[in-house]
Amino acid sequence: MRHVLTLTLGLLGLALGGGGAFVQPTLKGDLQLHDPTILRVGNQYVAMGTGYENIDGGTLRLKTSRDGLTWVDAGHLGDKQPAWVAKLLGAEPPNLWAPTLTQHGGTTYLYFAASTFGKNSSGIGLMTNPQLDPAHPERGWKDQGLVFASKRGDHFNAIDPSRLDTADGRAWLAFGSFWDGIKMRELDPKSGQLKASNPTLYSLASRGGGAIEAASLLQHGPYFYLFVSFDRCCAGLDSTYRIMVGRSKSVTGPYLDREDVPMMQGGGSEMQATQGRFVGPGGQEAFKDGAGDSLVYHYYDADQGGTPQLQTSPIHWDAAGWPVLGALPKNAN
């Protein structure tokens, strides 16, 4: 799903196979993470993902890495969900979903979703951390409350948040799942809350009520790129998730795929789908890094009975300016 991840020399080496072939890196260690986001803090990395259902309060999960390749479990973000979650939904959900980490002005911003499957009574929350410590990523967070909500009867679903800070100093929050698809609101960059002077709800992509979610925006060259997941998530080896993309010269759209089909009309160019042990790749987040652009996502590992696993990949750009992922690593974790 949203950051600053500078590729190490080791990661770059793994990304280039014989003859210059582009191969995604082989990650090691504790990779069990769903709907991942990654942030580099100094020379270390913090990853966060969806909470485990009814375990540790369902709070967001944490992983850390010293090199972006080998990951260790770092526990979870607190033992209780924010009090506003149960008040909004009428009861505390089994877990919190789909976090995204970004930094602005030295502050780390964490957006996440509170909802239950199949319902659009949902909310996007915000926490901030003035000095995130990668050795203790669970510390220092302050709940900033609800940012945005949807309710039964709305034509959108306020989950799967992803923040983009654009080169012009503005900030945007993309979100959405099923219903009328992917939406966006403008944020105040400093507070991280909705920008009161711009109440517009932008529409970015839709499948007419079909499966589309996990929006992530990336600015590269003259274009903004919208990455989404199509089809079925969260079903282990029966998952059919796949990673899609479109682009626009304006952050507010319209976004078109490689064949110029509008994403508001179901368009999207496939970047990665099920292949071998990598089942249902999705829940992705594209982000800036010191050496270029990268993508983080989860997949269900057929060699581990469908356990969700973390994967990262540098993004390469083809001659037409479209993002390309490398071949999947052949060796097991």
Single out the residue of 127, 98, 124, 112 nearest to residue 191, CA to CA.
Answer: 127
Tell me which of 180, 186, 213, 301 is the catalytic residue: 213
254 phi and psi, to 5 degrees? -80, 145
Tell me which of 35, 160, 165, 301 is the catalytic residue: 35
Place of tokens 């709070």: 59
Taking only Cα atoms into account, the Rg of the chain, rounded to an integer number of angstroms, comes to: 18
Q: Tell me whether residue 213 is one of the annotated catalytic residues.
A: yes
- What are residue 310's DSSP bridge partners? 298
d(CA 223, CA 248) in angstroms, rounded, equals 5
User: Sign of torsion, CA 227 228 233 239?
Assistant: negative
Which DSSP category does 285 fall into?
A: E
20 phi and psi, to 5 degrees? 85, 10
Which tokens sit at 209? Answer: 């009520």
User: Sign of torsion, CA 69 59 114 109?
Assistant: negative
Q: Please report, in angstroms and rounded to a whole number, the separation of the first and last CA atoms in the chain.
A: 21
CB 84 within 8 A of CB 62: no
Residues with a known catalytic role? 35, 213
